[in-house]
Amino acid sequence: MVREWDPRTASSAELESLLALLNAVLTADTPGDPLWQNKQVREYLAEVMPGERRLSWLAEDTTGPEPRAVGHISVLLLGDIGVIELYVHPDCRGVGLGRRLLAEAARRSYMEGFSSIGVEVVGGTPAVRFYETLGFRCAYAETRSVLRLGQVDWLALGEMARGIGTGYRVEYHPGGPPEELIESYAVAKAQVRDPDEGDLELRPSSYDPQRLRDSIACLHRRGMKPYIVLALHEKSDDVVGLTEVVVPAQHPTRADQYDTLVIPDHRGHGIDRAIKARMLFELRSAEPGLVDVQTWNAPGNESMLKVNADLGFEPDREWFEYEAEVADLVQRLDTA
């Protein structure tokens, strides 16, 4: 049975059942990735940025004493794209449930006037064939890398943290950048924004101060704690480099690296290395339960790949962004 489902009003039993589904999928598809804990799962699923909406559907097996979640799809409606996340329990795959759930999300996106659907697809999992079969095209490819804190060479890292050119100051801000630096922080992000990068902006960054405030507030509401390390140019007090890591309550042993950037005029002074190294020291003491940090990089981004390798990040698996036109998808799913 498939029905529209709202995490805000769902029972705790439904949320627990959904969590069990997600963990079964993780175990089957990405063994080694941490399983999710039952912490702020409702908030994680329910909270969105102003102007965005997330709709979801749940497939349940109702033959047992208690209904059991066997499939789930959500579509986050942002701008003109709907970003989907779709999970089918490994025991229930290959019988058309994925297709059925996708049809719900595609039809609704079509009715709401959205033109395209995007999805992050993990390399080496059945999802690649699934989306290709349904006519999605691969728009962007990245590599995920993981750094295990237990294997970090802290002595070498200390040198990197100190190896920044003169005229710069490094600051650590757990929780987010302070209000007095928000403006300068957003300017730095806007300056390094690359409109030709080619990704689908399925996880858009925030380039203006208000959006940045909103996105930090949204992370907190979803149970995701942001940590920021900044490089400031001492002469101007401008933000010239930044790195962002988020520790989610749902899988607190693994942190997610978000944006890292150094604005072009200030490159070549060891800022990237210094801020990332400082971040790892801060995370080690602020989050004693943290085991590793994951990051995603485009294969062409040589300089960042080099710094990440020096820090101890190891490439783990490919990660793709796939896209389909909603109208085509609806037609394909209806006629199949």
Ligand X SMILES: CC(C)(COP(=O)(O)OP(=O)(O)OC[C@H]1O[C@@H](n2cnc3c(N)ncnc32)[C@H](O)[C@@H]1OP(=O)(O)O)[C@@H](O)C(=O)NCCC(=O)NCCS
Residues that bind ligand X (CB under 6 A): 25-26, 29-30, 86-88, 93-99, 122, 125-127, 129-130, 133
Burial status of residue 220 (CB atoms within 10 A of its CB: 0-12, 13-18, 19 or more): middle
**Tokens coding 201:** 């902006």
CA distance 51 to 273: 36
The least distance separating ligand X from the CB of residue 122, rounded to whole angstroms, comes to 4
Coil vs helix vs strand at 232:
strand
- CB nearer to ligand X: give 96 or 158: 96
CB of 241 to ligand X, least distance (A): 32
Q: Determine the 3-state secondary structure of 314 from DSSP.
A: strand
- Which CB, 39 or 266, lies closer to ligand X? 39
Interstrand relation of 254-262 and 292-297 (parallel, antiparallel or unpaired): parallel
CB 131 to ligand X: min, Å: 7
Q: Which is nearer to ligand X, 98 or 270 (CB)?
A: 98
- Smaller CB distance to ligand X: residue 110 or 320? 320
E-strand stretches of 25-160: 53-61, 68-78, 81-88, 116-122, 137-148
Would you say 55 or 240 has its CB closer to ligand X? 55
Q: Identify whether the C-beta of residue 222 lies closer than 8 Å to the C-beta of residue 47.
A: yes
Q: Residue number with the shortest CB distance to ligand X?
A: 98
Eight-state DSSP code of residue 270: S
Nearest distance, CB of residue 120 and ligand X, angstroms: 8
Exposed (0-12), middle (13-18) or buried (19+): which is 264, by Cβ within 10 Å?
exposed
Least separation in angstroms between residue 29's CB and ligand X is 4
Please name every residue paired with 320 in a beta bridge, in sequence order, or none if there are none.
121, 141
CB of 25 to ligand X, least distance (A): 5
Integer distance in angstroms from the first to the last C-alpha of the chain? Answer: 20
CA distance 88 to 58: 10
Shortest separation between residue 330's beta carbon and ligand X, angstroms: 15
> 291: alpha, beta or left, given left = phi > 0 and alpha = psi -120 to 50?
alpha
Residue nearer to ligand X on the CB measure, 25 or 230: 25
Residue closer to ligand X (CB basis): 232 or 255:
255
